[in-house]
Copies of this chain bind each other. A is one copy, B any other.
């Protein structure tokens, strides 16, 4: 009972004709005659009733077999369609995980703009969780603030979010949008703990250029810095990716300095040849300027 035999039987039984079945399958008539005969012979069972050189109908056995081959080949076609559609990414699923929900949503929107029928499953977690999720194949692609140096992971830079200072608009009233060294020296800097990518990048560049705040307040959680800024405690150092549109906050920078972080997308090295992942990465190309904050 080879696949070709079953398929031949199915077509012949439906068309009640070897010739028309052959046309449908793109085969010649002798091919189908032989395959059906072979199927019948190998089970010494009669499936198709031939009389006077013509097909007369199906035996009860043939009828029952046809009832099984119909859904069988329907399923086969469904499987084919699934593969075909996902091959050109006209359908499919991607599981994304990022360190910031904002960024995650923004990236999935970017991807969906290009591939509208791919379903994105979104998760988020801290850097460690993102890496773990990718390594355990729970997610297909992870987005990290920094770079993940794991031997099994391919890390691709996908965005250069600017790191800026934000403060409440009342707090900033009368102050310039670009702070001089003197002006910055009167400020309170709300910043995350040592080890934070945002913190290290900003402070390094600021120190290089001789900028020093009056004092620094360390804030543990990501959203804490922004909340503190909202409360008028000072200026928070944040990546623009972490900013949601908010008319209470305004952005200021250090005069003459632009600080950029680098976001990386990570995936399993062994999977990086996958078309889906290739397209995902292409979509988030580092020169793509579309992942900008809604602010400013």
Contacts and interface: CB of A to CB of B under 8 A. Distances in A.
Interface of A: 1, 3, 6, 39, 43-46, 49-52, 56-57, 59-61, 64-65, 68-69, 71-72, 75-76, 78-80, 82-84, 86-87, 92-95, 136-137, 140, 152, 268-271, 273-277
| Residues of A contacting B: mostly | helix
Nearest to A135: B51
Nearest to A55: B137
Given A46-B274, A49-B271, A82-B61, A56 B137 contact: yes
B92 A60 contact: yes
A118 to B, nearest CB: 10
B43 A83 contact: yes
Given A1-B80, A51-B268, A52-B152, A75 B64 contact: no
Contacts of A93: 60-61, 64
Contact of A275 (B44, B50, B92, B268): B44
B75 A71 contact: yes
Contacts of A60: 92-95, 140
Identical copies of this chain, number? 2
Given A79-B69, A82-B68, A51 B87 contact: no
A51 to B, nearest CB: 5
Top 6 nearest A-B pairs (CB, nearest first) are A43-B87, A3-B3, A60-B93, A46-B274, A44-B275, A43-B83
Given A68-B78, A78-B68, A271-B46, A83 B1 contact: yes
19 contacts: A3-B3, A6-B76, A49-B270, A50-B270, A51-B152, A51-B269, A52-B270, A56-B268, A57-B137, A59-B140, A60-B92, A60-B94, A60-B95, A61-B82, A61-B93, A65-B83, A68-B82, A72-B72, A75-B75
